[in-house]
Structure 1
């Protein structure tokens, strides 16, 4: 190698080192750019007499059986029919259904009625003794037998309902 070539290589290496050092120092000492958090959902209102679709109903499923992963499987099957998946887990409720129970203060709520129609089993209703943020609370027991095929995925609402539909970010 010639000494002129070595000098050029050394000059380029020095320029890269200085540029990297300056850029690194600026990044290290700059303030974080924080943006307003984007909304996680958009409110959608269904008026009395309008159809309420399954894609506006969040379902929280809890397992009160000895079958591992049952709540997760039920949630996946409900999501296949368009329902929104909510909380999934083992039940901490005192309600221990043989098949299926829905915890609600209002069994006539259109969301509850639509979810209840999904099950092959007769659904029992109990007062809620566990709390979730939003949606219908379903508890499945040891003798749960599955969802109905071709169950309805919409119902006419007998009241105004506002649902928070998750926002899909690009």
Structure 2
């Protein structure tokens, strides 16, 4: 290779190297920003249409109970009462949101799982949260907790399948063919 060819190679190689390094830095920044701004935690799995027969029972409903007040152990006490009525309580704890009275949070106010849970809490407020694609229910108990209605029904008449949280991280139809992923 002649000296003039080496000179031209150096003139061309330097800008190409700089462009490649700049591209690597930009891609690293983009990937880092995307990772930093991505939602934290697992993504919600959509609900599964489940054939519950003619009635949705408390045994088919999963919920969380959180304490939005200052009464120590209230969420645990309410969770025990709900479990005693057949509900599956998946988590208990505290919430930073302060509530005065009991608030039931579900995908829609008229969802069967929300109606069934709300019947156990007199004078509670029902809050719709359309982002709950898994149809999960949260009971938030607060300072003015009005008690637990032990005489509330543990089933609710329904017509057709009910969309309920998936029992597994990936919704799959059960072996009996009674559940199908929601569309």
SS at match of 1:76: helix
SS at match of 1:114: helix
Residue 149 of structure 1 and its aligned partner are, at CA, apart by 2.1
Q: Do 1:59 and 1:75's aligned partners in 2 also have CA atoms closer than 8 Å?
A: no
1:136 equivalent in structure 2: 137
Q: Do 1:58 and 1:134's aligned partners in 2 also have CA atoms closer than 8 Å?
A: no
SS at match of 2:81: helix
Out of 86, 90, 97, the residue aligned to residue 99 of structure 2 is: 97
Out of 99, 108, 124, the residue aligned to residue 106 of structure 1 is: 108
Residue 104 of structure 1 and its aligned partner are, at CA, apart by 2.6
The count of aligned residue pairs is 120
Residues 91-128 of structure 1: per-residue CA shift (max 9 Å, x gap): 134xx332211123411000000000011x31112244
**Aligned pair in 2 of structure 1 residues 54, 89: CA closer, same or farther (>3 Å)?**
same
**Aligned pair in 2 of structure 1 residues 133, 106: CA closer, same or farther (>3 Å)?**
closer
Out of 68, 83, 86, the residue aligned to residue 64 of structure 1 is: 68
1:13 equivalent in structure 2: none
In 1: Cα distance, 2:107 partner to 2:132 partner: 12
TM-score by length of 1: 0.60
1:14 equivalent in structure 2: none
In 2: Cα distance, 1:131 partner to 1:50 partner: 24
Residue 160 of structure 1 and its aligned partner are, at CA, apart by 1.9
In 2: Cα distance, 1:61 partner to 1:133 partner: 16
SS at match of 1:145: coil
Deviates more, 1:68-77 or 1:84-93: 84-93
Q: Do 1:44 and 1:165's aligned partners in 2 also have CA atoms closer than 8 Å?
A: no
Q: Do 1:99 and 1:123's aligned partners in 2 also have CA atoms closer than 8 Å?
A: yes
2:57 equivalent in structure 1: 53
2:88 equivalent in structure 1: 84
